[in-house]
Amino acid sequence: MGIESLSTSWLTDPTKALAALIIVSSWQLSGYLMVIYIAGLTNISGELLESAQIDGATGWQVIKNIKVPLVRNSITICTFLAISRSFMSFDMNLSLTAGGPYKSTELIAYKIYQTAFTSMEFGKGQAQAIVLFVIVAAISLLQVYFTNKGAED
């Protein structure tokens, strides 16, 4: 039938396991991000859209010149939430693949867990966790900066 790629186990194939984790993670996070996008879109004034239509703006012009600039804060928040969530994805990695096959899905948070609790190198694991915390904190501070910058515009 031509669907042989669907008959293999994605979680046991080293070339497809990471893609499977990305798909599951995207599916898990998409609902939460969609609520943020919808909240941003519902805050756009109907009068503004109506006046653009009266002025002869096409659908693409309305999206490009009105909707996207007004939803910029939502886009910024969702982008940084997705980035910070990707750094901290541990539970799905552990439950679906446990870093395998052949360490193809060994992500940062799972590597920290392995260092601290499997290898019993608690100090090294703690140092790695602090570095991860600093990275996520820096990303969060960038989010606050860009969100405040967008609010000032």
Q: pLDDT exceeding 70 applies to what percent of the chain?
A: 95
Span 86-131, pLDDT tens digits: 877 778 888 888 877 888 888 888 899 999 999 999 999 999 999 9
Note whether 109 and 88 are within 8 A (CB): yes
Structural domains in the chain, sorted by start: 16-152 (1.10.3720.10)
CA distance 93 to 85: 13
